[in-house]
Amino acid sequence: MKKVLLVGAGPAGLMAAEVLSAAGVEVHVYDAMPSVGRKFLLAGKGGLNLTHSEPPAIFVTRYGKRQAQIAALLQDFGGKAVREWAGTLGVETFVGTSGRVFPLDMKAAPLLRAWLQRLRHPTRGPAVQFHMRHRWTGRASEPSADEVGIGLVFDSPKGELSAHGDAVLLALGGASWARLGSDGAWVPWLQTRGVEIAPLLPANCGFDVANTVRTGPGATARGWSPYFASQFAGQPFKSVAISFTTTSGARFARKGEFVATASGVEGSLVYAASSLLRDEIMSQGAATFYLDLLPDLSLEHVLAQVRHPRGSRSLSSHLKSRLHIDGIKVAILHEMMSKEQINDPLQLASAIKALALTLAAARPIDEAISSAGGVQFEALDPNLMLTRWPGVFCAGEMLDWEAPTGGYLLTACLASGRSAAQGVLSYLSRSIS
């Protein structure tokens, strides 16, 4: 019986283990964490977004520069297949109003329990064996005379040990949420073997704003003013829109909502634009997007309401009465505008419709929902095997791709795990012959 070492017990690794075990391969899964699927469980804390119901032609466009490579992975395991697979685990799904797909109970734990039950007690093929608290050291181990294939060295509760298999599949994740196992420690280990790796960067991340308060000649501090940060951090901007055009001409414009943080912004609308904003900051040093506080109203209408006589009412009361703007929406206007500007009707109306917010930096990668960069597809053969390390395959977020939230991340992880496992089976069949 052929044996495969699989490093990483996240969605990509578990999907690969399922495919390999069903094909009759002895699978040993190693993971540094004490339990399986920790980041998967965290992702499902607010409702497990399994996939998206978009047509395949639209779905694949969510993967940006790497959509051609991800399209190849999704051919056999796209959004529809993910729902069908969940159904085989006894997990019924539904499509939300946004097109996102969730389990009926919205939870990740029941799906993970059913999945592990299948892996540990399969109806066909050998049971998958799990080795938790086993951290790959990045080193390979030469097989002894009675062993064949590829060996890896692990740190375990019993000390350092070596394991050998006929092939290896790495599903080590990116570099977000290191405390859950994705720490990017594998990058230099593969680089020393000549593997081409794109730098790991934050994706679906928040940003620090560039403060308008000067800290010294020519120096602009990051973050909101102390007052705004103390009063409004954690509060959402609802029913707004943002627009942004990069220096290279790429444009983003969408309605939605996001949240003010202690130092900047985060949330679904910001995440959707994060790859463009991040790359603009990297190339230009800053990125400015325009916030529309009333996207359903025209500038002309807003200006007319701002100019309407307000009598003895304060400006805040006037804006609340005429335009239903209050709370954080009024606060951001005071935060970003001078007293003279905010008392000028034209400048105020223009700011309500297009308030410029300059971002100074992306938040650290460990805070991001996911990461971009990783093992470049050019370093892999069509079966996701490393050309510089024959017999070693890669899958999941450690590959060089990124996607917005909405089920796209999990779908591509599952699809890549399945594809890499099929590549392993092809490799093993060739080695037999």
- pLDDT, tens digit (0-9, with 9 covering 90-100), for 11-24: 999 999 999 999 99
Question: Are 227 and 175 part of one and the same domain?
Answer: no
Higher pLDDT, 413 or 182: 413
**Could you tell me if residue 214 is inside a domain?**
yes
Q: Does residue 174 share a domain with residue 74?
A: yes
Q: Judge whether residue 132 has pLDDT over 60.
A: yes
Of 305, 327, 362, the one marking the end of a domain is: 362
- Name the residue range of residue 411's domain: 3-202+372-432
144 and 225 belong to one structural domain: no
Distance CA 432, CA 417 (A): 23
Could you tell me if 121 and 194 lie in one domain?
Answer: yes
Q: Three-state DSSP class for 242? A: strand
Which H or E run includes 211? strand 207-216
* 358 and 380 co-located in one domain: no
Considering the domain architecture, whether residues 24 and 137 belong to the same structural domain is answered as yes
Question: Are residue 213 and residue 301 in the same domain, yes or no?
Answer: yes
Same domain, 120 and 27: yes
Q: What proportion of the chain, given as a percentage, has pLDDT over 70?
A: 96
Dist. CA 131–CA 115, nearest whole Å = 17
Q: What is the pLDDT of residues 334-376, one digit of tens each?
A: 999 999 999 999 999 999 999 999 999 999 999 999 999 999 9
How much is the pLDDT for 433?
A: 47
- Report pLDDT for 142: 77
Using CA atoms, how far apart are residues 84 and 100, in angstroms rounded to an integer?
Answer: 15
Residue 405 lies in a domain: yes
Evaluate if residue 213 carries a pLDDT over 60: no
Can you give the pLDDT at residue 143?
67
Q: What is the pLDDT of residue 219?
A: 45
Domain boundary among 314, 340, 362: 362
Contacts of 419 (CB under 8 A, 6+ apart): 72, 73, 76, 77, 383, 384, 395
Whether 240 and 336 share a structural domain: yes
One domain, residues 319 and 336: yes
Q: Give the separation between CA 273 and CA 203, rounded to whole angstroms.
A: 10
For 224-379, strand residue ranges (E) read 236-245, 251-260, 264-266, 287-292, 355-362, 370-375
pLDDT averaged over every residue in the chain: 93
Percent of the chain at pLDDT above 90?
A: 88
Which CATH number is 40's domain given?
A: 3.50.50.60
Residue 96 lies in a domain: yes
What pLDDT score was predicted for residue 339?
Answer: 93
In a domain, 422, yes or no: yes
**What pLDDT, in 10s, does the model give residues 139-192?**
998 766 566 689 999 999 999 999 999 999 999 999 998 888 889 999 999 999
Residue 186 structure tokens: 């594998």
pLDDT at 211: 75
User: Does some domain include residue 367?
Assistant: no
Helices H / strands E in the chain, number of each = 15, 20
Hunting for tokens 């000549």 — which residue is that? 194
301, pLDDT greater than 80:
yes
In a domain, 408, yes or no: yes
- The phi and psi torsions of 53 (rounded to 5 degrees) equal -90, 5
pLDDT tens sequence across 178-199:
888 889 999 999 999 999 999 9
Query: Is the distance from CB of 38 to CB of 17 less than 8 angstroms?
Result: no
The count of structural domains within the chain is: 2
How high is the pLDDT of residue 310?
Answer: 86
Domain-located, residue 60: yes
Say whether both 217 and 182 belong to one domain: no
Confidence of residue 220 (pLDDT cuts 50, 70, 90): low
Are residues 279 and 211 part of one domain?
A: yes
Would the pTM count as exceeding 0.75? Answer: yes
Strand order in the sheet with 159-165: 135-141, 150-156, 159-165
In this prediction, residue 147 carries a pLDDT of 61
**In a domain? residue 29:** yes
